[in-house]
Structure 1
Amino acid sequence: MILSKAVFLFSIGSNDYTSPFLTNSTSRYVGMVIGNLTTVLKEIYKSGGRKFAFINLPPLGCFPTIRILKPETNGSCLGKVSSLAKLHNKALSKLLYNLEKQSKGFKYSLFDLNSRLRKRMKHPSKYGMYTANFVL
């Protein structure tokens, strides 16, 4: 069966998680997203899919489009929004671990985009990034 040889890549869109921040329904929303993802994964598994790859959420509160929503923070990352990403990432890890234990042959890989980006934000020069000084 073709599905058993495929690798299914999931990347939950960061933009999907910005609206709950604006409506103050973050924890319920994470449960809904993880619940929907669980249903989809079980259906793919039932159809023969066994290999899955995932990318977790980056620090959403550091996105420029989010930071400008609260000008009083002077461009700082918004912790409340980034905490939503942390809730999602924790729930995603738990879901994948449980599915691996419950489903024979279920294999997954999880790329930790969140910690990779945080390291680059904290030490940009270590990764070849620098501030350019332009004179106009």
Structure 2
Amino acid sequence: MVAERREGKGAAGGLRGKLEYLWHASSGDLLAQNVPFQAAALMHAITLTGINYGVFSEIEWEGRHATKLSPKVPGLFLRRADLNAGFNEHGGQITPLSVRITADLSAVDTLLSRAGWKREPDDDSSYLHRLIASGQRSSGS
């Protein structure tokens, strides 16, 4: 869903989404958009700050061939399976999104709150977190 929209775009390919994010964020109606739109807008905002953004397949996410992350490279990486299964047909979030974050957490939290999201740490790893849209409950609550 969100992942498919991101793939295959050149440097200027995401310009429309960036401009939409800026418009909705500055006009105050970003939070009135559906959750998948908020997620896409959030990822555009992340890249504008210089934080790397990516979507990992299951092979890249875990196991012997998992992508190794460096704490020296600021990034935010989502699990593709969570993006595909995380939203219902009405645009509501049904499960938290797993994310690995190597960027400054306070900077990420600021961006998340502006876009109507919050981050919860996962106990498994210092880099692993869950993203939850405002008004949604985590599976652990």
Per the normalisation by structure 1, the TM-score is 0.28
More helix by share: 1
Q: TM-score, normalised by structure 2?
A: 0.27
- Asked which structure has the greater RCO (Cα within 8 Å, sep 6+), the reply is 1
Larger Rg: 1
